[in-house]
């Protein structure tokens, strides 16, 4: 599937050298998300080829993403899409299938072998917050504001965000942030471990690009293996993790030997 610069369903996908750039392109509604947005984001995983070393996610305009398009919560919904109010009256299997499909737009960012980075400015609310959390790393502009507002609507975060948030900051802090729905600014986000870096808004692109460039200095195979290794470190026992390290290093040594022979 060729990568062009045409925006489809409010998402642009571009390959720039070894970096896949995915941009939310509906600044007029603060990059609010719809099921069409999620289908397009899910399809972006197909563009992560062997030549891609990193994926950068960004949003055009003043906000990264204000979350779910509120029209999805109205009786009318969005043309061509079933509203959540209508979906609520469906069989459990139908609801489960809808949510599972939506989650596929969020789950691949951590599962892909390359490093994924969210560059966040302005609002990252609800689905927007969860989309940023789906990435391995977050660079936050000084004006970034993160919030989980689902409980205020009588809902819960269901787009993989609970896993990402608890993994970063632990159960207690995640519960407080989600249950209150309060805003977390960039400074607090870095202090808690939600974001990795804070930067002035006009330097967000430059800071993100510098971070990406730092990952490109190491061999691609080593970085991919490292990501996989670190992801299981928290759930493995010490013995299992030591085994994982041995297996990973054996692969790397074999690759190095092959490269030297070549």
Distance CA 39, CA 9 (A): 9
Per cent of the chain over pLDDT 90 is 92
Q: According to the model, what pLDDT value does residue 126 have?
A: 98
Cα angle 102, 107, 112; round to 5:
140
The answer, yes or no, to whether residue 103 has pLDDT greater than 70, is: yes
Q: Determine the pLDDT at residue 158.
A: 97
**pLDDT value, residue 262:** 67
Other C-beta atoms closer than 10 Å to the C-beta of 250 total: 10
Q: Domain map of the chain by residue range?
A: 11-215, 220-261
191: number of CA atoms within 13 Å, CB side?
6
Structure confidence at residue 258 (pLDDT):
87
Q: What is the pLDDT of residue 157?
A: 98
Question: What pLDDT is stored for residue 190 in this prediction?
Answer: 98
In percent, how much of the chain has pLDDT > 70?
Answer: 97
Can you tell me the distance from the alpha carbon of 104 to that of 27, in angstroms, rounded to the nearest whole number?
Answer: 23
**142-157 mean pLDDT:** 96
CA distance 203 to 170: 30
Select 11-215's CATH number: 3.30.70.3040, 1.10.3720.10, 3.90.226.10, 3.30.360.10.
3.90.226.10
At 75, the pLDDT band (50, 70, 90 cuts) reads confident
Between the ranges 6-10, 75-79, 232-236, where is the mean pLDDT highest?
A: 232-236
Summarize the confidence of residues 4-12 as an average pLDDT.
83
Give the tens place of pLDDT for each residue, 115-128.
999 999 999 999 99
User: Is the pLDDT at 1 greater than 80, yes or no?
Assistant: no
Q: What is the pTM of this model?
A: 0.94
Round the average pLDDT of the chain to a whole number and report it. Answer: 95
Residue 84: φ, ψ to 5°: -65, -30
pLDDT level of residue 7 (50, 70, 90 thresholds):
confident
- pLDDT exceeds 70 at position 189: yes
| Mean per-residue pLDDT, 107-111 | 97
């Amino acid at each position: 599937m060729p990568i062009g610069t045409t925006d489809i369903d409010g998402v642009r996908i571009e390959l720039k050298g070894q970096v896949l750039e995915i941009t939310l392109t509906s600044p007029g509604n603060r990059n609010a998300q719809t099921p069409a947005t999620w289908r397009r984001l899910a399809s972006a995983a197909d563009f992560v080829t062997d030549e891609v070393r990193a994926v950068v996610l960004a949003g055009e305009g003043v906000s990264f993403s204000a979350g779910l398009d509120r029209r999805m919560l109205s009786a009318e919904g969005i043309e061509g899409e079933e509203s959540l109010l209508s979906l609520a009256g469906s069989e459990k299997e139908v609801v489960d299938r809808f949510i599972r499909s939506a989650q596929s737009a969020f789950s691949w960012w951590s599962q892909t072998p390359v490093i994924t980075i969210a560059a966040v400015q302005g609002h990252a609310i609800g689905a927007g917050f969860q989309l940023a959390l789906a990435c391995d790393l977050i660079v936050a502009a000084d004006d970034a504001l993160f919030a989980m507002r689902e409980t205020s609507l009588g809902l819960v975060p269901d787009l993989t965000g609970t896993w990402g948030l608890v993994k970063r900051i632990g159960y207690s802090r995640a519960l407080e942030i989600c249950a209150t729905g309060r805003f977390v600014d960039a400074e607090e986000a870095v202090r808690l471990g939600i974001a990795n870096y804070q930067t002035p808004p006009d330097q967000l692109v430059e800071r993100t690009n510098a971070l990406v460039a730092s990952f490109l200095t190491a061999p691609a195979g080593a970085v991919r293996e490292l990501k996989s290794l670190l992801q299981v470190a928290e759930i493995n026992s010490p013995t299992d993790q030591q085994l994982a390290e041995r297996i990973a290093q054996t692969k790397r040594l074999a690759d190095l030997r092959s490269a030297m022979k070549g």
